[in-house]
Structures are given as structure tokens and as C-alpha cells.
Amino acid sequence: MKVRYHKTFLKNYKKRIATNKRLERKFLQQLEHFLKNPTNPSLRDHKLVGKKSSYRAFSVTGDIRVIYRTVEGELWLYDIGSHNQVY
């Protein structure tokens, strides 16, 4: 599956994640888990509701989430940050 990054994701990744090497490693590890097996329980993947009902989210850490959707076989990452930042 090809991974694509929305401009909002890239901006927030740079600001919120890239400055913390531990979080950056954890994100890359969880993304690898997702690409191998999207149903991996450590991801705590779930469908969103309300205005973001067309998106899904998976966890990087207890509080850090990645908002995404799959479109025509591509994984589009839309946002990353704490629970309060992305919802």
C-alpha cells in the first residue's frame, strides 16, 4: 500500500512529532505495524464519528493519534497529534 501525506499532516508532524525522537521512532514503528497488519491490536484502530465520520484513527502512543483514510488502495495520512489536537 502506498502512503500519501496530506499537507496538514506534514505540518503537524514537523511541529508535534519530529522534534521528539522517541515519538518519531514510535510513529514509524506503528506505521510499519499498520502497513503489515491494520488489525494489529496495538494500533487501537477505530472509525471516527461526527464531522470526521469518513476518517479512521490509529494510536501511536496512549495519547498520540494518526487520522487517516484509504482511497483507491492508498493510505492517506491527514493529521497527527494528541487526542485534543486532532479531534
In CATH, what number is assigned to the domain containing residue 64? Answer: 3.30.2310.20
Total domains in the fold of the chain? 1
pLDDT in tens, 33-62: 999 999 999 999 999 999 999 999 999 999
> Which pTM does this prediction carry?
0.93
**What's the helix, strand, coil split of the chain in %, to 5?**
45, 30, 25
> For residue 24, which phi and psi values (nearest 5 degrees)?
-65, -45
Closest by Cα among 52, 63, 54 to 27? 63
What percentage of the chain exceeds 70 in pLDDT?
100
Banded model confidence at residue 87, pLDDT cuts 50, 70, 90: confident
pLDDT in tens, 74-85: 999 999 999 999
Q: Can you give the residue range of the structural domain that contains 78?
A: 2-86
How far is it, in rounded angstroms, from Cα 37 to Cα 41? Answer: 9
